[in-house]
């Protein structure tokens, strides 16, 4: 059969040359489709990675803005503790003269203002008295025997803790109720 465009002989369908050309064309098409699928997969993976990097950077920016003052806040919680100690150093109603009472009122007002500023910036005091001991927020300093409380209950707070939003600035230093030892259980310090 003669091709009308260029006058060359075109292979007829079913002829051996036509089958080879169709097979080569099918192989080339399959290779191009495989390359396209691979390129599409790499593109989708790159887009997903870019989105993950964007989200991670956004989260890091938010955390930096939210917790940027954490070191400053850690320093200020000691000031809050000292203000509390100053107010607690004079028992209620024991201030002798008007000057002492006025000074205590001023220190108390300063402490309240500092704690209000803490609250406005997401910093809150942890006062765990009577709560269950939580190692994430409390630091056990000692155990109290015969406290009348269930084992693991905070029975004394030596120093309050502070959290900023959901991060711990300083753990509360506490005394924890000790569990009762069974009568027949040997003590640790006894030689068996």
Residue 172 has pLDDT above 60, yes or no: yes
Closest CA to 132 of 151, 116, 119, 118: 151
Is the predicted pLDDT of residue 115 greater than 90, yes or no?
Answer: yes
Nearest Cα residue to 111 out of 126, 127, 93, 125: 125
* Stronger pLDDT, 181 or 126, i.e. the higher one: 126
- pLDDT per residue as tens digits for the range 156-171: 999 999 999 889 999 9
**Main-chain dihedrals φ then ψ at residue 68, nearest 5 degrees:** -65, -30
Q: What is the pTM of this model?
A: 0.62
Helices 70-88 and 98-120, packing angle to 10 deg: 150
Looking at the chain, the whole-number percentage of residues with pLDDT higher than 70 is 84
Distances (CA, A) of 27 to 19, 21, 23, 32, 40: 12, 10, 6, 9, 20
**Are the C-beta atoms of residues 172 and 161 closer than 8 Å to each other?**
yes
Cα 105–chain centre separation: 38
CATH 3.40.640.10 fits 124-192, yes or no: no
pLDDT for the residue numbered 192? 45
Q: Which residues lie below 8 Å from residue 63, measured CB to CB, with a gap of 6+?
A: none
List pLDDT tens digits, range 57-111.
999 998 888 888 888 999 999 999 999 999 888 887 777 788 888 888 999 999 9
pLDDT recorded at residue 191: 46
Number of neighbours of residue 76 by Cβ within 10 angstroms: 17
pLDDT of residue 1 exceeding 60, the answer is no
Supply the mean pLDDT for the chain: 85
Using DSSP's 3-state secondary structure scheme, residue 47 falls into helix
Structural element, H or E, at residue 85: helix 70-88
Return the pLDDT at 188. 46
Tens-place pLDDT, residues 19-57: 888 889 999 999 999 999 999 999 999 999 999 999 999
pLDDT score recorded for residue 166: 87
């Amino acid at each position: 059969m003669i091709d009308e465009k260029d006058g060359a002989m075109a292979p007829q369908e079913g002829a051996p040359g036509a089958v080879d050309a169709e097979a080569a064309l099918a192989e080339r098409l399959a290779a191009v489709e495989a390359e396209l699928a691979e390129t599409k997969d790499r593109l989708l993976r790159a887009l997903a990675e870019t989105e993950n990097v964007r989200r991670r950077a956004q989260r890091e920016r938010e955390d930096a803005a939210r917790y940027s003052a954490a070191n400053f806040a850690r320093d200020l919680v000691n000031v809050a503790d000292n203000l509390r100690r100053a107010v607690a150093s004079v028992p209620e109603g024991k201030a002798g003269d008007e000057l002492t009472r006025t000074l205590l009122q001023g220190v108390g007002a300063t402490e309240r203002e500092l704690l209000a500023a803490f609250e406005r910036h997401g910093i809150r005091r942890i006062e765990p008295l009577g709560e269950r001991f939580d190692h994430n927020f409390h630091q056990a300093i000692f155990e109290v025997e015969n406290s009348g409380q269930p084992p693991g209950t905070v029975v004394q707070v030596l120093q309050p803790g502070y959290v900023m939003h959901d991060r711990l600035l300083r753990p509360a230093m506490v005394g924890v109720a000790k569990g009762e030892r069974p009568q027949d259980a040997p003590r640790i310090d006894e030689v068996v």
